[in-house]
Structures are given as C-alpha cells and as structure tokens.
Structure 1
Amino acid sequence: MILTRLAKLTNGWNPALRIALLVIGLVLAFGLPWTMYPPVALDITAWALFAVALDLLLGYTGMLSFGHAAFWGSSAYATGIIAIETGMPFPVAVLGGALVAALLALPIAMLSVRRSGIYFAMVTLAFAQLVFFIANQWRSVTGGENGLQGIPREFFGLDLSDSFYFYYAALPLILLGLLGAWRVVHSPFGRVMVAIRENQARARALGYPVDRYKVQVFVLSAFLAGIAGGVYAVGHGFASLQEVYWTTSGKVVVMNILGGMGTLWGPVLGAGIIVLLEDYLATAGIDAVGLVTGLIFVVTVLLFRRGIWGTVRHLVRSHAPKDDGNDEARQEEPEPKPAPARQG
C-alpha cells in the first residue's frame, strides 16, 4: 500500500518530485561541513562526482572501466603541478588538471573502445597501471612514493587554509560537474548512450557511429573524473600514488554498484556510504576496513541487485499505474530502452 501510494504521488507530481530531490540534495551538500569534519565532507563530494563520471560510462553506456584511477590521479598530479609552479587560482588549476585527464583519455579510448566486456575492462586496467608506473618512476615531477606535497589553495588572495571555507569555495566546481553529467544524460546524446548499452548492433544499424560515441563518452567521463581528482588533491594538499592505483578504480566501481548504476543519484549515495563508512572504521581503530566494506558490499548486492537507489526506484515504479500511457513522465533518468528508434 505504501509503495502504491508513493508511486501514484511520484507519477502525478514527477516534476515536483525532481525539484524536491534537487532541493534536498543541495541542502545536504551545503550542510555537510556543519554536520561532520569538513575534509570528510569534501571527500564525499569529490568521490560523488568521480562515481557519477564513471556512471556515464558504466551505467549508461555499458562500458566497465577498471582504469579510471588514471584520470582521477593524473588530474590530481597535474592540478598540483599547475598550482605549485604557476600560483594560479585553484579552480583554474583544477580545470587544467581535468583537461590533462581528458587528453590522456583520448588515445586510451581510441585503443580501447573496439573491445567490449571483460576485454575492455582489462585494457583500461593495463593503461591505468602504465600511468601508475610512470607516476612512480618520474620522481622529479610526481615525488614518487613521497607524493606531490604542498599543493596551495590559492584563490585571489583569500585565506582558504581552513577546510571549512575551502569546501564552499570548491563546491561550485563539483556542482557544475554534476550538472554537466545530468545535462548529458537528459539529452539526445544520452539517449544514444543508453541505446548503445542496450543493443549496440541495433544502434549501429540505425546509423549511429557507435565507436565515436564511445570515445566521446569516455573522454567526457575522464574530464569529470579529472575535476573530482583535482578538487580532492587541492583539498588534501598533496597527490600520492594511491590516486592512480588500481584499488581506486575498484573503489569507484563499488560505489556505482552499491548505489545503483545508471541512476546518477545512486553513485552519489554509494560514494557517501563508502566514505562515511571508511571514516567511521578508521576513527574506531578498525584496521580491516577493506574486509568490512567488502562484506557490506556483498550483502548489499545480494539484497539489492539494482543497488540501493536503483532498487527503491524499481519498487516504486513497479507499483505505479500502468494505464496512464505516460511512462516517460515518471522517469527520473532515461529508461534503459534504445530510444533512438523513435528518432528515425
């Protein structure tokens, strides 16, 4: 009964529901530093954008990348180098780092998109490990095992040494990145992404250059991941090898699966859960953080096959009236159907 009533409510007031979710999300984003340690709040927002960036590739286009740490980490290093060497305001340094990540992604994408499934995942992992090797060996630039330290928070002379104030200075970059992802998903380009995920052969038969779309999505995903990595590096004041290590790629994949792939809200929820859980376990002195998070992940996958957010959305939609002929009005994000068939 509760789900049925909620389904009717969301069906009739879908625009209002979207606005309500947006307002709640903004309130939470602006209120995080007041409820927790500001660096943890910044980590949640940065990882949320990183997870959404991967969701464009994994959830909406059906391409599993195990190498996205290369773009998160390369942007972190590039942002730090730009900020240290030029003294530019940190938003400029972050955008410069994101551009480096996108340029790095272009050749990787062109060499990877001709593969699919596990082969694509392994190719991206191989390139990410190559980036890790370069970062480890190029000590004069990256600092090697010591990392790149002393990244400044320069912003037109303002004192952002307090993490509380830096959070609000960096938040617009994160929100712009999330807005960009939302706009892509709710565009004709996003419909083609979903079509490629659902039936690649059909999308190609309809005349869409599938490989070119894949490259574009890959580069866009890397750019957004680069924004997140740059903000993360400036917020912590350093960039380390951990940022380009394969476990970072695995962590953001877990966030997507935990929250719900192909939903946008799901990766944000997954990022918040993982970051808060790791912070709680570390504060409690529990060393087996990976073991605990892994067990929770397994339980969640068994109970929520679509992820937490995805499962809730599916339950609500399954109880929605089916005779109104207006399925599209209920969509929070595009349904996993090859919409380009309607585009002629």
Structure 2
Amino acid sequence: MAVDTQPAVVTNASVGVPRHHVLIFLGLVALLLVAPFVLYPVFLMKVLCFALFASALNLLLGFGGLLSFGHAAFFGIAAYVSAHAAKVWGLTPELAILLGTAAAAVLGLLIGVLAIRRQGIYFAMVTLAFAQMVYFFCIQAPFTGGEDGIQAVPRGHLFGVIDLSRDLTFYFVVLAIVVGGMLLIYRIIHSPFGQVLKAIRDNEARSTSLGYKVNRYKLATFVMSASIAGLAGATKALVFQLASLTDVHWSMSGEVVLMTLLGGMGTIFGPLIGAGVIVTMQNYFAGFGAWVTVLQGVIFVISVLLFREGIVGVISRWLKKPL
C-alpha cells in the first residue's frame, strides 16, 4: 500500500470564510464609501495607504514571525519609481503604480535572499542596514531629486480615461486598490501556504523536521510583503504628488511597526485600526510639533501595558473570535 510521504497541512479552506469576517469587511467598505462625503478625502487616502502598508508588514511579522525594521525601503523606492515614471516618462497612473510595485518586489527579493539567513533581532538589524543603504542611494541617485524629492507628480488619467485630478475620484481608486490588497493578504493567510507560514512562525524546527523548505516560505513571504508595501508607497506618491526622503527614512519603518503593534499583530483588521489611530494623531495633533512623537510614544506604552495584543487583539479575545 502506497504511503503519502508529503507533509500534511490542516487548512480551513473547506470551512469557508467566517461569517463575521464577511460582515466586518462589508461594514468597513460601506463605511469607507460614505466617509469621503464627511471627511477630507486626502486624509482618508493617507489612512488607506498606510493601512495597506501596515497590513503588508503584518503579513511578515504577525503571520511569519519576522520583524523587519527596513520596510520603508520598499515603500519609499516604490514611491520614487512611481513618481518618476508618472512625471518624467509620462506613464499612466496604473502603469506607474505597477512599475513601483515591481521595483519593490525586485528589491524585496534581493534583500530577502540575504536577510532570511538570519533570525530574530539579527534579521531585524540586517533589514535596517539594507534600508539605510537604500536611503543613502535615494539621496545620491540623480532621478530622486536628492533632498528635494520628486515634486508636482501628475496624477494623470486612469487607463487614459478617468481624470484623477479630483480628490474624490482618486479616493475611490485608492479604496479599490487597498481593498484588493487586503483581500489578497486575507487569501494568502487562509491558504495552505498561510497555514504552513503560521506553523513556521510557531515552531520553525518542527516545520523543518516535517520536510518544509522553511527558507523558501520565508523568502516568498518577504517578497510578497515587500510588493504590497510597494503598492502602498506607489499609490501614496500619486495621492500626494510627491516622493521624498521621508518615505524611505528609518523612522517610516518605525511608524509602520507601531501601527501594526497598536492595532494588533497577527490580526486581519488590526493594521487598519492602528494606521487610522496614528495618522489621525499626526493630522490633528500637528499643532504640537515635535510633541506628536512624544504623544505617540505615550500611547504606545499605554497600549503595550493595557492592550498587549493590540486594540483588535483584545477585542478578539473578548469576543472569542479571530479578527
């Protein structure tokens, strides 16, 4: 009798999408469809871009167990490439965004091949080191504009037809991109690949003993996370019509880690909440100047002490349902 020697993975694919996840997704989409008629669309677009950025990091950190301090490299390089493609090469916005995302994916592959050879804090430090190299490259490279960045980036016409110069029109395009990105992340997490990824996160040695190519899974996750972070950065560059050194600075990596932890690491909806809280603070507390950073630090300390699983993580524990 033949024996199947392939590693078995228990998946929930046959169970289907939990009903409460569907209801939450639909509720969020409905809320976001109405939001631009109440709140400033550019502010909302910033929240959405950073929510996608935080979700990309959460895929790597929350479900892969890999803490990256260098994700700003992918976010920033995609912003620069997208802005350059739209302004200098005259590409349509969808092509500029795709090109920026592709650049982030290639950079993620190059960095990931080396970074995944390390674990824990060493992995985090390697990603930070590579991110700083990208930062100094962006200072010196001729196409980035140095400290001035790339300004006055045209939004153009989507598919050559839809004029994106109006904030409200562009908002719905950004909403579609972010919802699509988050659905992709959701599908990855709940696929057999995602189940193996969680197994590696929980017990890497055991996953290796079962025959899984752990480094291949890590590299694939790293590249996917970098690509989605790049999608967020490329979109953000067109939203603000600007790509600058802020996008690729190490502090940007710190902010997205804060968003992920505050919202709830390893949750589906946590990064969205975390991004909303941090961006709202930056927007409405801007009058406090440098004290905004101090306020963020205080909120982070409080959340770590009172909400160790993050805001959504605590709610999930109370409801006894995964969120």
TM-score by length of 1: 0.86
Q: Hey, what does 2:7 align to over in structure 1? A: none
Q: Hey, what does 1:339 align to over in structure 2? A: none
Separation in 2, partners of 1:221, 1:78: 18
Separation in 2, partners of 1:160, 1:265: 28
Separation in 2, partners of 1:77, 1:228: 12
| 2:212 alignment partner, one of 208, 211, 215 | 208
Letter in 2 for 1:315: W
C-alpha contact (below 8 Å) 2:316/2:322 kept by paired residues:
no
Deviation at 1:189, TM superposition (A): 0.4
C-alpha contact (below 8 Å) 2:48/2:174 kept by paired residues:
no
Deviation at 1:35, TM superposition (A): 2.4
Q: CA RMSD in A?
A: 1.3
Deviation at 1:286, TM superposition (A): 4.5
Q: Give the fraction of aligned pairs with identical amino acids, expressed as a percent.
A: 46
Separation in 2, partners of 1:136, 1:88: 24
C-alpha contact (below 8 Å) 2:50/2:232 kept by paired residues:
yes
Deviation at 1:190, TM superposition (A): 0.4
1:52 paired to 2:63: no
Letter in 2 for 1:191: Q
Q: Hey, what does 1:186 align to over in structure 2? A: 190
Deviation at 1:30, TM superposition (A): 1.6
SS at match of 2:299: helix
Deviation at 1:285, TM superposition (A): 4.5
SS at match of 2:88: helix
Deviation at 1:16, TM superposition (A): 3.2
Q: Hey, what does 1:78 align to over in structure 2? A: 81
Separation in 2, partners of 1:169, 1:66: 29
Q: Hey, what does 1:23 align to over in structure 2? A: 26
C-alpha contact (below 8 Å) 2:50/2:275 kept by paired residues:
yes
- Of the structure 1 ranges 211-220 and 82-91, higher mean CA displacement relative to structure 2 is found in 82-91
- Of the structure 1 ranges 222-231 and 21-30, higher mean CA displacement relative to structure 2 is found in 21-30
- Of the structure 1 ranges 97-106 and 35-44, higher mean CA displacement relative to structure 2 is found in 35-44
SS at match of 1:86: coil
Contiguous gaps of at least 5 residues in structure 2: 1-16
Deviation at 1:40, TM superposition (A): 0.7
1:255 paired to 2:263: no
| 2:37 alignment partner, one of 31, 34, 39 | 34
Deviation at 1:186, TM superposition (A): 0.6
Separation in 1, partners of 2:242, 2:116: 32
Letter in 2 for 1:115: R
Letter in 1 for 2:307: F
Query: How many residue pairs align between the two structures?
Result: 305
Deviation at 1:169, TM superposition (A): 2.2
1:161 paired to 2:165: yes
Separation in 2, partners of 1:124, 1:95: 24
Contiguous gaps of at least 5 residues in structure 1: 1-13, 318-329, 333-344
Deviation at 1:157, TM superposition (A): 4.4
C-alpha contact (below 8 Å) 1:91/1:173 kept by paired residues:
no
| 1:109 alignment partner, one of 112, 117, 121 | 112
| 1:272 alignment partner, one of 264, 273, 276 | 276
Q: Deviations over 1:220-276 (max 9, x none)?
A: 000000110011000000100000000000000000100100112001110011111
| 1:243 alignment partner, one of 236, 240, 247 | 247
Separation in 1, partners of 2:73, 2:228: 13
Letter in 1 for 2:299: I
Letter in 2 for 1:95: L
Separation in 2, partners of 1:15, 1:62: 24
